[in-house]
Structure 1
Amino acid sequence: MIIQKKQLKQLSKYFLAVLIATFYNCSGFLEQEPGSQTSITELLDSTDGVITALNGAYHDLEANVRSSYTIYADMQAGNITFTPTETGSNTGQITVPANLENVYNFEDLADESNLEGFYDDSYDIINQANLILEYIETLPDSSDAVKNQIKAEALTIRAYAHFLLSQVYAQNYGFTTDASHLGIVYNKTTLTNGITYPSRATLAETYTLIIDDLTAAINNYSDILLLDGPTYSYFNKTSTQALLARVYISKYDWQNAYNLANEVILNSGTILTPTEDYITEWEKPDLPISEVLLEFSIPRDSGGTVGGSLSSSYGFTSTADYADYVASEDLLNLFEPNDLRGQLFLEANLPTLIDGELEDRPYYFTKKFQDNPGFIAIRLSEMYLIRAEASLGLENLEACKDDINILRNRANATLLTETTDLEGILLQERRKEMCFETQYLFDLARFQQNITRGEDCVSRTCNLNYPSGKYILPIPNSNIELNSNLQQNDTY
């Protein structure tokens, strides 16, 4: 196969990116005598080196989900609107941030996709996990238990990255009757094995591979702690079971989704945050809510300085210093007056340009992500919602109603007394409970519902009827030019 000069340039750039990503935060292994160079083999030929590489993969995973991805699902589905410009000639004007403007307008470009970095970085992370998996078996200084724990976490990282990619770049599982539509490239080998030109698997095949990786990971977990920091910052058996429950519910595999969600609810050792603590738990600086199962914690330097957090997207400091994204009117109007979840918003009056004049208008910043929070990947509330959805799929309507009521009771919302329209109620309950937690667009796709944004939508296209090619994004053209076997999504 002849590789064109442009492809060679892109491939060299890709190799460099992978190497940089692999060695990130591995300074102890890179500080060699002048003139020497640390290779992948040298880095990964010891347990300490592999654990350092694993830490680097988590670091890059946290940065990747904290990118435009964290805004994407809620913005597209109508949970998010935008704040007015603070200063300058555009003071008071409401504009969509340039880095997501095309996505928000359902006009993303394959040549310059707003989420191109997310796509590329996801596969970099997958390659890091694959490197670890390829070297782990031959470690001369490691016990089987340690090897198994490293393998479990690397497999979970690989599966998680692929799952996120499948949500953004492949239509939902029910888009075709047998999920035979395009999934993603599922990469289980590293670039060190040579240049390959993989094709996209079907979505059914993609899910089988994700489930295989997560099942293997669950079977390898132990109680060994490999990395420093809070245990909720890294994958473990419980959070991997919770992730697998999410995968199964996305696949409409009701029984397996029910079993895993139920297992986590009953045996994780975590309980729902009590009613009396719900608001204060979300408002805590730096620490996640107590019911967290997995949070990718914010990076800090040796002096404790924060390297980045979700407050950069959702935070409010003052009327002269605030982030871009706030709750939409549609979302706010869902909450009953006594629903605690409706109190999870910080109201601020901001100067807004109305008919050529600046007027103070109220905006509502989520309290979930103030004061340097990490990325909440999974929490226990979602397991109740998954168990409820699985019960609905299994036609156990009372069990579905009961699980919805558990969350409603915690939130002081009105309890359900009947089992009519549970599907619509469940979707709305997910929207209220999981808002700003990267779920709602994927919920709408799974439930095969239209996207309907409210009156504060500022897009050229505010609504989208299901099914549509615009429920997913284009594969970046730079990857398609490199890989002739990589098929583009329809409409792009």
Structure 2
Amino acid sequence: MQNFKTMKYLKYITIIILIFSLQSCSDFLEQEPGTQTSIDELLQNKEGVLIALKGLYRDVEANVRGERFAVYSDLQGGNLKFTPTSSGNSAGQITSGVNIREVYSFEDTAETSNFVSFYSGNYSIINQANLLLEYTPKLSDATDSEKKQIIAEALTIRAYAHFLLSQVYCQNYSYTSDASHLGIVYNKESIKAGLKYPKRETLSVTYSLIIEDLKSAIDNYSDNPSMAGPTYSYFNRNNTKALLARVYLYKRDWTNAYETANDVITNSGFQLMSSENYIAQWAQPDLPVSEALLEFSIPKDAENTASTSMSNYFGYNSNTYAKYVASNDLVNLYENNDIRKQLFLTVNLQTLGNGLLTPRPYNFTRKFQDNAGYVAFRLSEMYLIRAEAALENNQSAIAMQDINTIRARANATLLTNTSNLKEEILLERRKELCFEGHLFFDLIRNHKDISRNDGCISTNCGMTYPSLKFVLPIPQSNINLNENLQQNESY
């Protein structure tokens, strides 16, 4: 009886917090330091809606660029390992990051989940997107085209947040033959519309709703961005199609994956980086690579100084270095003449072994140095999606041609036959898209085992597919709030 009362109390407290944040103040509603306003007041005109939309992008950027998600897929899949502590009593010791420690060992728990902020952050983003979708059609000081553009971006953000949740909390699409296994709660109304306690959809329905939102967004986009600033940091028709192509790939809808990726390649106006500029493009500070379809801008202060970026996790300079470096599992996959091997900076770091500090080599990536942002989509991925979809549609010659386009740019040996092409595609994705959040999800959607060798300090360095631990637990605090929210099996 006492436990029941405690859970009910927690539920009511959480509801009160949600209502309070909705009616009074949150980062979403903050216009300038010390000035906050109500939702109804802020969202009654175009200026207020655009302030809210800008704040929404800030939250999206923070959620994907945060350590948990930014390193998750590459760490779990085996592309990353940890650097030794640089100083102090623990100098030379290698430990996992505190924010991902249990997740890294496939031992996360619902009660103390490493990813509780990622889960709640995405649903906060979804709620904010829904508020924009509810208020924007009522604007009297915006043109129909302006309103459609805002709606398109909000729909895309809503779909993107739901898709990210499905990656982390749902088994892959073909885990069951008809994708009837658990998906996620798909919210299409803000909390302001009334508190509800929905059940999780099946994954099949979840994907249908994601695709529905993205298609609707694509139909609403105009050629004029809703806000000033770097266009590569906002959703538009091209990068929304890139997201849709990725969703189709994960759904194993090969025809639509091919057509959508091909559309981006053919009609976006973007070109692959050249061999000559490939390394320099990744090394340039502040700006994304030229083929980036979407890279969320990192936050900067009034002096245009970045307080945080992807270099927080991957950075290296002569005085300090970050927590994550490439594993030899990854580095050894590249041929010696592959220019992508030049993206690794090898540095000797003092490492504790057998009670002694000795220098050992570590490979930092040049992809995310200086003020690097989170690369959400770029054109190379579209070529690799088109290749995989073509192969599954029995167009192996096209698939090989697309792989060779990426390999030729890297000065890697070209494929001359189509044997074992599926594995070649997955290998090329691992090499080309490393540290961009793909490997673990690629392995699982292809029913592959996890094998982490070099630098693995986990209690579980290998995991056989299928595994209930390939998804994370829904945070217990959310289960307490919604009695209809079903927990993932084994948690």
TM-score range, shorter chain: over 0.9
Paired position in structure 1 for 2:323: 324
* 1:31-64, Cα deviation, whole Å (9 max, x unpaired): 3xxxxx7210000000010011000000000001
- Per the alignment, residue 487 of structure 2 pairs with 488
Classify 1:160/1:20 alpha carbon distance in 2 versus 1 (closer, same or farther; 3 Å). Answer: farther
Is the aligned partner of 1:452 residue 2:447?
A: no
In 1, are the aligned partners of 2:29 and 2:39 still within 8 Å (CA)?
no
Q: TM-score, normalised by structure 1?
A: 0.96
Structure 1 stretch 202-211 or stretch 339-348: which is displaced more? 339-348
* Structure 1 match to 2:200: 200
Contact 2:447-2:466 within 8 A present in 1 as well: yes
How many aligned residue pairs are there?
485
- Mapping of residues 300-449 of structure 1, within 5 Å: 300-318=300-318, 320-449=319-448
CA distance in 2, matches of 1:52, 1:149: 15
Q: Once the 2 structures are TM-superposed, how far is the Cα of residue 24 of structure 1 from its aligned partner?
A: 5.0
Looking at structure 1, the residues matched to 21 and 71 of structure 2 have their Cα atoms a distance apart, in angstroms, of 24
The answer to whether structure 1 residue 156 and structure 2 residue 161 are counterparts is no
Letter of the aligned partner of 1:489 in structure 2? N
Aligned to 2:227: 227
Q: Is the 8 A contact 2:351 2:360 kept in 1?
A: yes
Distance 2:370 2:8 in 1: 49
Letter in 2 for 1:391: A
Contact 2:282 2:289 survives alignment (8 Å): yes
Cα deviation for residue 27 of structure 1 reads 2.0
Contact 1:22 1:53 in 2 (8 A): no
Inter-partner Cα distance in structure 2 for 1:70 and 1:245: 21
- For 1:467, the equivalent position in structure 2 comes to 466
RMSD over aligned Cα atoms: 1.5
What CA deviation, in whole Å up to 9, does each residue of 1:146-198 have, x standing for no partner?
00000000000000000000000000100000000000000001110121001
Shift of 1:344: 0.6
Report the residue type matching 2:17 in the other structure: K
Q: Which amino acid letter does the alignment assign opposite residue 347 of structure 1?
A: T
The Cα of 1:21 is off from its aligned counterpart by: 4.5
Is 1:250 equivalent to 2:255 in the alignment? no
CA pair 171-290 structure 1, distance change in 2 beyond 3 A: same
CA contact 1:47–1:139 (8 Å) conserved in 2: yes
User: Offset at 1:17?
Assistant: 5.2
Q: 1:433 to 1:25 in 2, by over 3 A?
A: farther
After superposition, what is the alpha-carbon deviation per residue over 1:377-414, rounded to whole angstroms, capped at 9, x for unaligned?
Answer: 00000000000010011011111111000000000000
TM-superposition CA deviations, 1:71-126 (whole Å, max 9, x none): 11000000000000011111001111121110011100110111110000000000
The offset of 1:5, in angstroms, is 1.8
Question: Does the alignment pair 1:10 with 2:9?
Answer: no
**Structure 2: 5+ residue stretches without partners:** none
Identity across matched positions, percent: 55
Whole-angstrom CA distance in 2 between matches of 1:309 and 1:196? 36
CA positional deviation for 1:25: 4.8
Q: Deviations over 1:277-322 (max 9, x none)?
A: 000000001111110000001111221121310000110022x411
How much does 1:20 deviate? 4.7
| Mapping 1:54-65, distance limit 5 Å | 54-65=53-64
**How far has the Cα of 1:4 moved from its partner?**
2.0
| 1:439 partner letter | H
Q: Is the 8 A contact 2:29 2:38 kept in 1?
A: no
Amino acid at match of 1:417: T
Q: Which moved more, 1:19-28 or 1:398-407?
A: 19-28
Q: 2:32 aligns with which of 21, 27, 35?
A: 27
* C-alpha contact 1:21 1:124 (8 A) present in aligned 2: no
Residue 92 of structure 1 contacts residue 352 of structure 1 at CA under 8 Å; is this kept in 2? yes
- Please tell me the residue identity of whatever aligns with 2:11: Q
